[in-house]
Structure 1
Amino acid sequence: MSRPIGYYVHHHGDGHRQRAIAIGQLLDNVMLMGSGLAGRTGNLAFLDLPDDRLDDSFAGIDHVDRPSSLHYAPLDHQGLRQRTAQMTGWIAEARPRLMVVDVSVEVAMLARLSSVPTVYVRLSGSRLDAAHLDAFRGATALLAPFHEALDDEEIPGWVREKTFYAPGIVRSGSQDATVNDGVVLVVLGSGGGLSNGEHWAVAARAAPAWQWRIIGPCTVPSVMPANLQLRGWVDDADAQIAAAGVVIGAAGDGVVSAVLAARRPFICMPEPRPFAEQASKANRLAAVGGAIVRHDWPQPEEWLRLIGQAIAQNQQWPTCLNGESGPERVSRWLDALGVPAVTNRSHIV
């Protein structure tokens, strides 16, 4: 068996874990590591790390002065000390040939300081702060889980040259669904600002010929229109997206990937995120013709026009959004990266 690949999984959001499992299942020897992984990695080995959060939420704020090359480094935190010790202990014993980091500039630096080549997962947005740029420089390669056409226009050429673009790592198994042209599907996520049921009730009344369905968390409107249905959390979101006549949602990785995989008409309403992650992705979708984008809440009389625009745009699918790499292509690429040569073997005397 080859030396292992370590794979760090951030605990904020579930996309990191889903990518890790999809790729890890195709690697010969991989160790997932992160907080809260117990019982959530399938048959893959994992190292469950102590929590490094300051409270039950995770805002990524440590309330201390720190070097510009770090994002999150709270002081005197026992969980952070323990997780750092566990990771470096595993590295010393297992001698990994590669460390995939999805995502944390601190873990990327820790792996590099431990003499392990890193692959840093580069998310969307204008990530040009000192910490991100240092993580990019220190990495052997970068992995972007999106189409190259959706990369932020401000990203420097040297970062793009190090990047392996890999859309569709987590595959949708419902791309052959029968489309219901009369359904508008609204896809909501936790913690989003689009979950006001009163607003969606107004939208449904403004387009009464359409059946409006909402999946994800949404408040119940005081008066429910006959053509609006709240389905809450569902286990088949990809299938419902693939079967919808039109999809409305934010610009998170999950919904965008599912919409592009199924090639559905899309009205994208990006939400505020660090490093303008969703705004950047939505703007690139609009630029290449992959979505109708609204950064503000539409007036009631605008909904029918927006739906029509999304349908018309979808009839000319942009070629730059064709094709998906899938996890197989990524796993082959990771396997081929290997261990860099030692550049200086001289002894210090």
Structure 2
Amino acid sequence: MTRRPIGYYVHHHGAGHAARASAIADHAEGRITLIGTNIAGRTGVHPYLDLPDDRLAPGFDGRDGTTERPAALHYAPLDHEGIRHRVAAITHWIAENRPALMIVDVSCEIAMLARLASVATVCVRLGGRRDDVPHLEAFRAATALIAPFAEALDDPATPDWVRRKTFYAPGLVQRSNAAGVDPASVLVVGGRGGAAIDGAAWARAARATPDRTWRIIGDSTPLPDAPPNLEVLGWVDDAAARIACAGIVVGSAGDGVVGAVLAARRPFVCLPEDRPFDEQRSKARQLAATGAALVCEDARTADWPSLLALVERRDSAAQAALDDPDGAARLAAHVLALADGERG
């Protein structure tokens, strides 16, 4: 029996969506096709469908500019040529390949499009309060839901029926075998999709802790007068290894950063960023409640000597409870079972 393919829609904002997709596809027997914007050459051995970039329209700002739209949609611009080409590319792929499932990470509109094209959907759920009509209707229309985090990190207000439909899959991150931790080092991690790290704040933090070595990876604002114990490395290819070797990690509450820190069991100071649906602040509250991180609301005013001393006394058992080293393989098996068990 020929097993039908699975489509995986990869949202272009931030790096976490693509990382999750690749982690799952690595264990899915070559059946997943990655579908996204500007992904040609970035999917390794996995097949892909590169979509036209709808952000190229003049004056694009991520808003649809309409005074009225269907309640089940977040983004439905009128007379947008880029959207028309994206919809045509996706539905053409569906018609030609007859996928058993479409995993959507993330877009309420793509989830509804796939369902309208008679394809069962599996929606990835991000954190925060996603109880608005578009999210709930996309969840209701889905065959199953995926949360790329442990259930203990879910927002307390998440409806029970959504939780029951959700497969919780922490651990969808790159893991490092790097040996040796530099206990005096502090690694500041900036993710894609957010604001640049405030270099001046980290310069002040480094000056306040001269016995520690600070390093910044990711985007950072300029540092014309950096202290000698602060190094700005920019974007790196070995972020997982650097996290594993750091004495303490400071970073946002994005799924990628949180997952990598939990996998490495490193002391974590969480700096939640403002995101729609209270995504990062909700995750930060749950991390603090479980004892897996200390939360700092403002790096500019933090008492860094005290904060770092406090966080490095934390027990890593709380982090281990929120991680699953086999998360990607377990989730891939779940997805394949959904694809084959219900549609043959």
Structure 1 residue aligned with 2:7: 6
Structure 1 residue aligned with 2:167: 164
Q: Is 2:25 the counterpart of 1:24?
A: yes
Cα distance 1:104–1:210, how it changes in 2: closer, same or farther (>3 A)? same
Cα distance 1:164–1:325, how it changes in 2: closer, same or farther (>3 A)? farther
Q: Aligned ranges for residues 1-349 of structure 1 at < 5 Å?
A: 1-28=2-29, 29-53=31-55, 55=57, 60-64=62-66, 65-174=68-177, 176-190=178-192, 192-193=194-195, 195-299=197-301, 302-314=303-315, 317=318, 320-338=321-339
Structure 2 residue aligned with 1:346: none
Cα distance 1:6–1:311, how it changes in 2: closer, same or farther (>3 A)? same
Distance in 1, Cα, partners of 2:85 & 2:203? 49
Q: Which amino acid aligns with 1:99?
A: M
Distance in 2, Cα, partners of 1:46 & 1:225? 45
Say whether the 8 Å CA contact 1:166–1:325 is kept in structure 2. no
Distance in 2, Cα, partners of 1:146 & 1:328? 15
Q: Which runs of 5+ in 1 are unaligned?
A: 343-349
| Shift of residue 296, structure 1, vs aligned partner | 2.5
Distance in 2, Cα, partners of 1:84 & 1:214? 39
| Shift of residue 170, structure 1, vs aligned partner | 2.5
| Shift of residue 189, structure 1, vs aligned partner | 2.8
- The Cα offsets for residues 139-192 of structure 1, whole Å up to 9 and x where unpaired, read as 000011111111111101000000001111233123x52111010111123464
Cα distance 1:76–1:315, how it changes in 2: closer, same or farther (>3 A)? closer
Distance in 2, Cα, partners of 1:88 & 1:324? 35
Distance in 2, Cα, partners of 1:58 & 1:42? 30
Distance in 2, Cα, partners of 1:102 & 1:160? 17
| Shift of residue 246, structure 1, vs aligned partner | 0.7
Matched position secondary structure for 2:54: coil
Q: Which amino acid aligns with 1:154?
A: A
Matched position secondary structure for 2:313: helix
Distance in 1, Cα, partners of 2:210 & 2:342? 65
Matched position secondary structure for 2:35: strand
Matched position secondary structure for 2:214: strand
Distance in 2, Cα, partners of 1:168 & 1:72? 30
Matched position secondary structure for 1:338: helix
Q: Which amino acid aligns with 1:74?
A: P
Q: Percent identity?
A: 55
| Shift of residue 54, structure 1, vs aligned partner | 5.6
Matched position secondary structure for 2:33: strand
Distance in 2, Cα, partners of 1:230 & 1:238? 17
Say whether the 8 Å CA contact 2:173–2:260 is kept in structure 1. no
Cα distance 1:156–1:256, how it changes in 2: closer, same or farther (>3 A)? same
- The Cα offsets for residues 125-150 of structure 1, whole Å up to 9 and x where unpaired, read as 11111000000000000011111111
Q: Which runs of 5+ in 2 are unaligned?
A: none
**Count of aligned pairs between the two proteins:** 340
| Shift of residue 102, structure 1, vs aligned partner | 0.8
| Shift of residue 46, structure 1, vs aligned partner | 1.3
Matched position secondary structure for 2:104: strand
Cα distance 1:275–1:205, how it changes in 2: closer, same or farther (>3 A)? same
TM-score (norm 1): 0.91
Cα distance 1:8–1:191, how it changes in 2: closer, same or farther (>3 A)? closer
- The Cα offsets for residues 212-271 of structure 1, whole Å up to 9 and x where unpaired, read as 111112233342212111111111111111111111111111211111001100111111
Cα distance 1:298–1:51, how it changes in 2: closer, same or farther (>3 A)? closer
Structure with more relative contact order (C-alpha pairs < 8 Å, separation 6 or more): 2
TM-score (norm 2): 0.93
Distance in 2, Cα, partners of 1:205 & 1:143? 43
Say whether the 8 Å CA contact 1:23–1:330 is kept in structure 2. yes
Runs of 4+ in structure 1 off by over 4 angstroms are: 54-59, 339-342
